[in-house]
Amino acid sequence: MGVSVAFGVSPSVAHTALFHPFLPVMQVTISTRHGEISEATKEKIIQKVEKLQRFFDRLTAVDVTVNLDKADEPSIEVAVKSEKRDDFVASYQSNDMFGSVDQVIAKLEQQIKKHKEKLRERGKNVPLED
């Protein structure tokens, strides 16, 4: 079973949405510059970025850009859109494409966790009414 990159919804996300009807489906879009990547590589990247939804369920879209300008050091940039917030953005460049994806995911996890902590702190400072 292949993944429809045009729509950006992988089977695992669609499957999750069936069991969690209130969980928004996150759209994943992959684009490349200066070259092409295989469908298998796209599928692996989609599987990795879908894991971000474990940290914050209000993510709506992920835009992945793979820049193959330097073939021996591909650059990965990921922009994550969420409800009521500006994008989370991270990029990384190394000689290992999947290592770069892992580094970008780690950076985005930190940004998302920091954002969630701010939301929790904001909720704690609400004055109680008598």
Which residues have C-beta within 8 Å of that of residue 105, sequence separation ≥ 6?
A: 48, 49, 51, 52, 78
What's the pLDDT at 105? 95
pLDDT tens, 76-113?
Answer: 999 999 887 778 999 999 999 999 999 999 999 999 99
Residue range 30-70, pLDDT digits in tens: 999 999 999 999 999 999 999 898 888 888 899 999 999 98
Domains delineated in the chain: 11-124 (3.30.160.100)
Half-sphere exposure of 124 (CA within 13 A, CB side): 6
